[in-house]
Structure formats: structure tokens, C-alpha cells
Amino acid sequence: MRAVVFERYGEPAEVREVPGPRPAEHGVVVRVEATGLCRSDWHGWMGHDPDITLPHVPGHELAGVVEEVGARVARWNPGDRVTVPFVCGCGSCPSCVAGDHQVCERQTQPGFTHWGSFAQYVALDHADVNLVAIPGDLSYATAAALGCRFATAFRAVVQQGRVAAGEWVAVHGCGGVGLSAVMIAAASGARVIAVDVSPKALDLARAFGAAVCVDARDTPDTAAAVRELTDGGAHLSLDALGSPATCAASVNGLRRRGRHLQVGLLPSPDGTTPVPLARAIALELELLGSHGMAAHTYPPMLELVRAGVLRPDLLVTSTITLDAAPDALAAMGSAPGAGAVVIEPWR
């Protein structure tokens, strides 16, 4: 099969022929019809993810067709249209038994713990636990975005963030996951403040329901701007980019008893990130993480998509070929772009 492969961190990836995957007993091989390009892929390529071994094929936001099933798979057959959360649970550890597959103790992640979906085929483990059927009218390109950015944003805003109608929600960083969060929070009846350095990203945020946009290029203290706009601070605030600056701005822009959601990854040489914790004590803030979303919790999100309340299709701003993927991957660091780039490996 053809796949995007890199041999060294930070050095150009290339498209080449590699052996196709075989399914595990409990797994499947999926023919990849669409796979989103995500900043997490860039982090992996840069060497920020300890799970990756070289050579490596990135890609974790995918949709496609089941090609081959392992002997112990009961629920899926070749030809089924599926997507998958980027965190695949084992189905049997204490976290999975409690329903929290997104923090499984033996989790696998395509594109991190094994070869991913920037390829014509990808192997997915524990298929009965992790695969999600794509509703009939949802395109592969749209479904691909559900696995990472959209589901992650949904879990962050709705499940972890407990958004309520009428609340102020600040979203720092309006890339794929940030724009998804803007759309989901606005659809939940919240008043959304979008913060970014890109006018194009802010235009999209406005189109997706942001009530106010803050251009961080000419607003050095975005936290102060959020506090001012909201008469005291946001009820819920997301760092959807992942940087010490946006993390601090998110926490500092909260009102009393507000909730901070860390969604963007925070790589650092020693694994730590400074957070204004003193503010968390005095204002009784909640600091929360969000890590994908378990497959069994997809139905309420898919129902909102089916009803047209949520429009992940609008997030897909371009589709590219596998051959264009290495350059697009390298560009994610300096120019994460607005909206979602989706790779179609068979194009």
C-alpha cells in the first residue's frame, strides 16, 4: 500500500510503498477513505510523543470501510462504513469497564502507538469496543473529523466542561479543535468568545457562532479582554492550541468558580507547564483535561449532527492527496491554518 512514512523526527516524510497491515484477532483493517491532518500529527513528527517508534506512519482522524476482520470480531463485517475515536480502549481494564475508554490503561492510538491512517489501509484494535458506524448521509471527509477534533471538542465542552445555555465560553486557539468547540458551545446556547492570531480563523469562528472575536495580534492581554467582555470572566474556557501563553490566558480569563479545559497538547522538555494555580485557589477554579471520547458516547453527538444542529462538514476547508500530505504535515507547526485539511489516500 502507499503511505506517508518518516524515518527521523522533523525531517521530511515521504510517500512510499510499504506492506499493508493485517488485523489482530480482535481488530480490523480499514480502507482509509479520508483522514484529517491534525496538529497532534505534527507533534508526533517532531518527536514530542514517546509512544512513536521509527519508521512511522502518522494519522489518527479517519473514516473508511472495513476491509478485513479478525477471527474474534463479532459486530463488524467487510464493507461497513466506520470511524473510530483516536484513543482506542482495550474494553477490559478498570477504566474501560467504568466506561472511560478515552483514558484506557492499555489504549492504542493509530498514528502514535502503531502505524496510522496517512495510508491506504490502517489496523484498528478491539474493533467491537471502538468502531463507530458512520450514519448513512455523512461523508467520509466529515466523519474523519469526528474521531479527533470534533469528538475531543464535544467531550471538552459538553461532557467535561458541562456547558450550559447562557454561559460565557472562551476558546483560545481556533484551529480544528477550537473551531469545533466554538460551534458546539454556540449550539449549546453559550455566548462564545473566540481568540486567535489569524483573521481567517476568526472569520470562521464568527461563521460558526462566536458572539465576539478577539484578535490576539492587537490584544496583548487576551485574558483581560475576556474578563472585560464578560463582566468578570468566562464560565468555561478552553486552551485549544496548547502553549504556556494560551493556557495561562485561559485560566486568567475565568470568573470565580470557572472551568478551564486543557485540550491542546503541551509538549515541553521536562514535561511540565507553568499554570497560574494561585488564581485557581482564590477563585475556586476547576482545571480539567480532555482526551478524546469513548465510542459508546458518540450517539448523542451523532444525533445532533444528523439533526443539522452541529455541522462538522463546515469545518472541512480543503481535501488533498496523499502526495501532498508530507508538505502539509510540515506546515502544521508554523501555519496550523484555519479549518480542517482532509487527506483522501485513494485520490
**Which residues here bind Zn ion, judged by CB under 5 A?**
38, 40, 61, 89-90, 93, 96, 104, 148
Order across the sheet with 168-172: list the strands.
Answer: 212-215, 191-196, 168-172, 234-239, 254-262, 286-289
**7 grid coordinates:** 524515518
Q: In this complex, which beta carbon is closest to Zn ion, that of residue 40 or of residue 237?
A: 40
CA–CA separation, 238 vs 227, rounded Å? Answer: 14
Q: In this complex, which beta carbon is closest to Zn ion, that of residue 109 or of residue 237?
A: 109
The verdict on whether omega for the bond into residue 135 sits within 30 degrees of 0, i.e. cis, is no
CB of residue 107 to Zn ion, shortest distance in Å: 6
Q: In this complex, which beta carbon is closest to Zn ion, that of residue 116 or of residue 258?
A: 116
CA–CA separation, 169 vs 178, rounded Å? Answer: 12
CB of residue 170 to Zn ion, shortest distance in Å: 22
> Residue 100 carries which side chain, given as an amino acid letter?
D
CA–CA separation, 174 vs 241, rounded Å? Answer: 7
Task: Tell me the longest C-alpha to C-alpha distance in the chain.
Answer: 59
CB of residue 129 to Zn ion, shortest distance in Å: 8
CB of residue 324 to Zn ion, shortest distance in Å: 18
Residue (of 285, 229, 288) closest to 254 by Cα position: 285
Q: In this complex, which beta carbon is closest to Zn ion, that of residue 20 or of residue 36?
A: 36
CB of residue 163 to Zn ion, shortest distance in Å: 21
Q: In this complex, which beta carbon is closest to Zn ion, that of residue 131 or of residue 234?
A: 131
CB of residue 176 to Zn ion, shortest distance in Å: 7
**Other CB atoms within 10 Å distance of the CB of residue 323:** 14
CA–CA separation, 224 vs 254, rounded Å? Answer: 10
Q: In this complex, which beta carbon is closest to Zn ion, that of residue 38 or of residue 213?
A: 38
For residue 325, give Cα distances in angstroms to 5, 42, 227.
10, 11, 40
